[in-house]
């Protein structure tokens, strides 16, 4: 399975300078290849990324000798990316207009999605061009660069994409991981209620996971306001803009980190994990919830949980959209139909138990998961297809495309 981890880099000035040059080379190669592609196409030829790579290779020593100062992966990968962009674009053309997502490849501008890629195994002389040693990564030509955290996965490193967002450098490492056998003593079951106030509430006694959204407070509002007051095109506006962009990147980073810690914790501690159907589209239809849901990143939670569960052998049981996890009393089963979104606590009219809304929902999901898992096992034994309610986690592995996403 191929997975990726994006980590903040702490380059020294010389390394930063190299990154900028490598990004520039990648951008140049991309734009050169795009112009050449357009020209060949107009001339009635059939351009291809492989031919364009060979073409650039044969002329770069004479025409662009400065290209040799950076890893040769940078221009090569840029042209491969152009090939992918065209492939996506052409595939999209076959679809109805409304479903199209890719436009014709455009020339890249400096400072927008700056990135370059280095591969392992692309160069026979340097089979291990990219290496990781705790909190540092080795990149071709430039050598060891400090990382803010260590790589989350163990496995063979396939490639590194170095990118810049809001004046910060990142490396996205693509790793091929072996399946790890489950390392749990018991067959623990947990239910997870995802929410807006708390990001996640577990059915056990662990405290709810705070929603990192709260961290930003009013800072963003203040920065946006200060930005709108600045004169267009002024240096102050540019400064305010980069400050806001940095804050956005920081929030995204914190959220990503919290999400990864949560999903890793779940798949390592529990054998069966009960969750609600994370049909984001369904939830998005409810206008008021939409922003909050998007903020919390439920889709990202589902994606991470699915691929990590596949790695550890944990089972994700999804309760369908109509499962009343919040309204059902986890003590007696009574359904409290009058429950509203704002009721954080409620007491059951049947048995009198006072419930914390989120914890009660999590316990219901745990019970559902436990019974579904048992049923599924029995049915598997009896060679009957599992009940429809027990949907195995769709194993959507983090595709290699992940690495391209930053290019
Ligand atoms: Zn009750």
Model confidence band, residue 238 (pLDDT cutoffs 50, 70, 90): confident
Q: Tens of pLDDT along 35-66? A: 999 999 999 999 999 999 999 999 998 999 99
The HSE-up count of residue 93 (CA atoms within 13 Å, CB side) is 7
H/E segment holding residue 31: helix 13-42
Closest CA to 276 of 175, 169, 188, 358: 358
Q: Tens of pLDDT along 150-163? A: 887 777 888 999 99
Mean local confidence (pLDDT), 268-282 = 79
Does the annotation count 276 as an active-site position? yes
Structural Rg of the chain based on CA atoms = 25
Ligand 1 centroid – CA 69 distance (Å): 71
Ligand 1 centroid – CA 201 distance (Å): 20
Q: Specify the residue for token string 């705070």.
A: 210
Ligand 1 centroid – CA 337 distance (Å): 13
Asked if 101 contacts 92 with a C-beta cutoff of 8 angstroms, the reply is yes
Q: Return d(Cα 143, Cα 76) in angstroms, integer.
A: 20
Ligand 1 centroid – CA 355 distance (Å): 9
Does the annotation count 193 as an active-site position? yes
Catalytic residue among 204, 276, 295, 378: 276
Is the model's pLDDT at 304 over the cut of 80?
A: yes
Ligand 1 centroid – CA 336 distance (Å): 9
Q: Which two tokens stand for residue 320?
A: 């369908």
Question: Of 36-50, 112-126, 196-210, which range is least confident?
Answer: 112-126
Q: How does 328-347 read in b/e, with b if 16+ C-beta sit within 10 Å?
A: bbbeeeeebeebeeeeeebe
The HSE-up count of residue 168 (CA atoms within 13 Å, CB side) is 20
Catalytic residue among 45, 358, 379, 398: 358
Mean pLDDT of the chain: 81
Higher-pLDDT residue of 291, 149: 149
- What is the pTM (predicted TM-score) of this model? 0.54
Is the model's pLDDT at 210 over the cut of 70?
A: yes
Ligand 1 centroid – CA 194 distance (Å): 22
Does the annotation count 358 as an active-site position? yes
Ligand 1 centroid – CA 65 distance (Å): 76
Q: Tens of pLDDT along 307-357? A: 888 888 889 999 887 788 889 999 888 999 888 877 889 998 888 889 999
pLDDT of residue 230: 79
Ligand 1 centroid – CA 276 distance (Å): 21
Catalytic residue among 193, 277, 356, 402: 193
Ligand 1 centroid – CA 325 distance (Å): 13
pLDDT of residue 19: 95
Ligand 1 centroid – CA 200 distance (Å): 23
Question: Of 116-120, 128-132, 142-146, 389-393, which range is least confident?
Answer: 389-393
Model confidence band, residue 393 (pLDDT cutoffs 50, 70, 90): very low
């Amino acid at each position: 399975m191929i997975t990726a981890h994006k980590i903040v880099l702490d380059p020294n000035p010389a390394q930063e300078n190299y990154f900028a040059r490598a990004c520039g080379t990648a951008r140049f190669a991309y734009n050169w290849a795009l112009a050449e592609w357009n020209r060949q196409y107009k001339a009635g030829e059939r351009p291809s990324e492989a031919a364009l790579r060979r073409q650039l290779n044969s002329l770069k020593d004479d025409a662009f000798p400065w290209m040799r100062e950076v890893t040769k992966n940078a221009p090569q990968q840029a042209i491969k990316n152009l090939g992918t962009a065209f492939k996506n674009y052409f595939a999209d053309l076959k679809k109805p207009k409304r479903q199209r997502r890719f436009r014709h490849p455009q020339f890249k501008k400096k400072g927008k999605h700056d990135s370059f890629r280095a591969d392992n195994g692309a160069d026979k002389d340097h089979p291990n061009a990219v290496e990781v040693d705790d909190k540092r990564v080795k990149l071709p030509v430039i050598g060891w660069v400090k990382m803010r955290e260590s790589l989350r996965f163990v496995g063979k490193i396939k490639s590194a994409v170095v990118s810049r967002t809001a004046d910060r450098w990142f490396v996205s490492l693509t790793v091929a991981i072996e399946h790890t056998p489950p390392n749990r003593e018991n067959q623990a079951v947990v239910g997870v209620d995802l929410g807006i106030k708390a990001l996640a509430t577990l059915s056990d006694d662990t405290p709810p996971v705070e929603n990192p959204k709260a961290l930003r407070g009013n800072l963003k509002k203040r920065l946006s306001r200060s930005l709108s007051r600045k004169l267009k095109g002024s240096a102050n506006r540019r400064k305010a803009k980069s400050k806001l962009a940095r804050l956005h990147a920081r929030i995204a980073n914190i959220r990503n980190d919290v999400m990864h810690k949560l999903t890793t914790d779940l798949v390592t501690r529990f054998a069966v994990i009960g969750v609600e159907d994370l049909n984001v589209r369904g939830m998005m239809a409810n206008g008021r919830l939409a922003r909050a849901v998007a903020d919390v990143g439920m889709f990202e939670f589902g994606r991470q949980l699915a691929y990590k569960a596949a790695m550890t052998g944990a089972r994700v049981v999804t309760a369908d959209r109509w499962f009343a996890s919040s309204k059902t009393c986890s003590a007696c089963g009574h359904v409290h139909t009058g429950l509203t979104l704002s009721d954080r606590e409620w007491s059951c009219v049947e048995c009198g138990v006072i419930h914390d809304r989120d914890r009660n929902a999590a316990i219901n999901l745990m019970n559902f998961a436990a019974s579904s898992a048992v049923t599924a096992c029995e049915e598997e034994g009896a060679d009957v297809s599992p009940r429809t309610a027990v949907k195995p986690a769709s194993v959507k592995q983090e595709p290699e495309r992940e690495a391209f996403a930053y290019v």
